[in-house]
Amino acid sequence: MYKTLQFLHSWDRWILLVLLLVVIYRSAIGWRTPKPFLAKDNKMSLFLMIATDLQLVFGLMLYLMYSPMVDWSNPDMMKISSTRFWTVEHLTMMLLAVVLIHIGRSKSKKAATDEMKHKRLFIFNFIALLLVLASIPWPCLENFKGFPWFRF
């Protein structure tokens, strides 16, 4: 089960990142050059939220049940950067990103004008993107050398 969840969590992150970039791009264009908020914009935002929720479910299942990287029993857990990352930092930043994506979608749906819909989607999703990028275990960073880009 661990390998399956790890695979799903790994691949869904790329889907989420692509959708996040698409929503940010479309909302930036819609906000800066007044364009109507189309059904396509709403659907992309919905698909982003679905991918985000799936990622959250996969991640929480890994975190709570299966991950050997989360170690609450170690009293020095906060002193070890890789253990602290998986146990506290990754979870906290990703939860904030999920909340921001949800708030952005909700606020954009309630906005009175198309410009405000695009603006709210852009702002909340851009901040979420920064949090996501900061909390991905990039293989090029020292603590994650050998960590694969894609899980198979």
pLDDT (tens digit per residue) in 28-41: 999 999 899 999 99
In contact, 121 and 104? CB cutoff 8 Å = yes
In 13-113, which ranges are E strands?
none
Give the separation between CA 119 and CA 35, rounded to whole angstroms. Answer: 11
Give the separation between CA 13 and CA 30, rounded to whole angstroms. Answer: 25
pLDDT (tens digit per residue) in 53-96: 999 999 999 888 877 777 777 788 888 877 888 888 889 999 99
